[in-house]
């Protein structure tokens, strides 16, 4: 089959590789649509992967050999740690991951445990199903807030996750939601703020934006060291801020809720680019070099 294989930083090539070998409980999923995550750009160009060679791609949908149309939860829990035993798979202490720790969806087929499959209604397109992952990550972040005291919220970061978070805040009835991009002014006195970039500057803006005793959820994944100045740290203390981290999404709770609300999320609005499988190298280069403004970049396999 055809696959884009990452051999090292800045070294991804399309190759003919053997079809995945299926282990117990796994099925072969023929990939139909795969989104490119900003974390993939970091893997290809900046920080690399856990091991090589590796096929990336963790936001995807496809069809099983039996013809089931499926979405795929990419996290592979250990099922034995304390978190797993409480069904909180996202905080599993020893997980695998399709598309970062083991081969993913930038290929014609991928091996997926049956447990990780989510059947798709006929009305749900493969592209939208490929966005169940980022949409569930966004939902998961929003659910960390105590929204009873939240009427105003800022989202620092206008990438796909930031924009999805804003949509979820609206669905959850937060009256005023501001999405803040790099060049926007930081609003003040907000009840809540989400850091959806993964940079000290974005955290600083969050801490600035939020009122005393306000809430911050951190979801942006930094790709470099993250040092806090004393002044910034003091602000957290003096404002008595509540900070909460968020990682991944809860399977199946968040995924089901995302599927139930998929129309309200208006995902088409977030898909800025579509590339064919053969153009994946062009797609990642465009994202890295920011030669065009993009939000979600979708690969059709």
Question: 114 or 213: whose CB is closer to Zn ion?
Answer: 114
Question: 209 or 255: whose CB is closer to Zn ion?
Answer: 255
- Is residue 10 within 8 Å of residue 38, measured between CB atoms? no
How many CB atoms lie under 10 A from the CB of residue 53?
16
d(C-alpha 25, C-alpha 80), whole Å? 17
Please give the structure tokens belonging to residue 263: 């129309």
Residue 34, classified by CB atoms within 10 Å of its CB into exposed (0-12), middle (13-18) or buried (19+), is buried
How many CB atoms lie under 10 A from the CB of residue 62?
27
Smallest gap, in angstroms, from Cβ of residue 136 to Zn ion? Answer: 10
Smallest gap, in angstroms, from Cβ of residue 46 to Zn ion? Answer: 15
Question: 106 or 191: whose CB is closer to Zn ion?
Answer: 106
Question: Among 104, 125, 123, 110, which Cα is nearest to 36's?
Answer: 104
The DSSP symbol for 122 reads: T
- Footprint of Zn ion (CB under 5 A): 37, 39, 77-78, 81, 84, 92
Question: 132 or 190: whose CB is closer to Zn ion?
Answer: 132
Question: 99 or 214: whose CB is closer to Zn ion?
Answer: 99
């Amino acid at each position: 089959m055809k696959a884009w294989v990452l051999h090292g930083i800045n070294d991804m090539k399309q190759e003919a590789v053997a079809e995945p070998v299926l282990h117990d409980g796994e099925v072969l999923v023929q990939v139909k649509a795969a989104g490119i995550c900003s974390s993939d750009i970091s893997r290809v160009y900046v920080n690399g992967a856990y091991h090589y060679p590796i096929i990336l791609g963790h936001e995807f949908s496809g069809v099983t050999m039996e013809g089931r149309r499926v979405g795929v939860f990419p996290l592979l829990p250990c099922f034995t740690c304390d978190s797993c035993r409480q069904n909180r798979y996202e905080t599993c202490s020893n997980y695998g991951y399709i598309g970062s720790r083991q081969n993913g969806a930038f290929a014609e087929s991928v091996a997926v445990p049956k447990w990780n499959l989510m059947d798709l209604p006929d009305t749900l397109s493969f592209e939208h199903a490929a966005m169940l992952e980022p949409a569930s990550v966004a939902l998961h972040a929003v659910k960390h807030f105590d929204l009873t005291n939240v009427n105003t919220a800022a989202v620092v970061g206008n990438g796909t996750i930031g924009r999805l978070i804003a949509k979820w805040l609206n669905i959850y009835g937060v009256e005023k939601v501001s999405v803040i991009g790099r060049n926007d002014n930081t609003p003040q006195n907000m009840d809540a703020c989400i850091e959806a970039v993964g940079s000290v500057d974005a955290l600083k803006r969050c801490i600035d934006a939020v009122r005393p005793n306000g809430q911050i959820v951190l979801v942006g994944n930094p790709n470099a060291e993250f040092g806090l100045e004393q002044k910034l740290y003091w602000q957290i203390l003096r404002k008595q801020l509540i900070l909460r981290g968020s990682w991944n999404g809860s399977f199946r709770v968040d995924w089901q809720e995302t599927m139930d609300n998929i129309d309200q999320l208006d995902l088409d609005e977030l898909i800025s680019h579509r590339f064919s499988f053969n153009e994946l190298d062009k797609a990642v280069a465009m994202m890295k070099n920011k030669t065009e403004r993009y939000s979600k970049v979708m690969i059709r396999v």
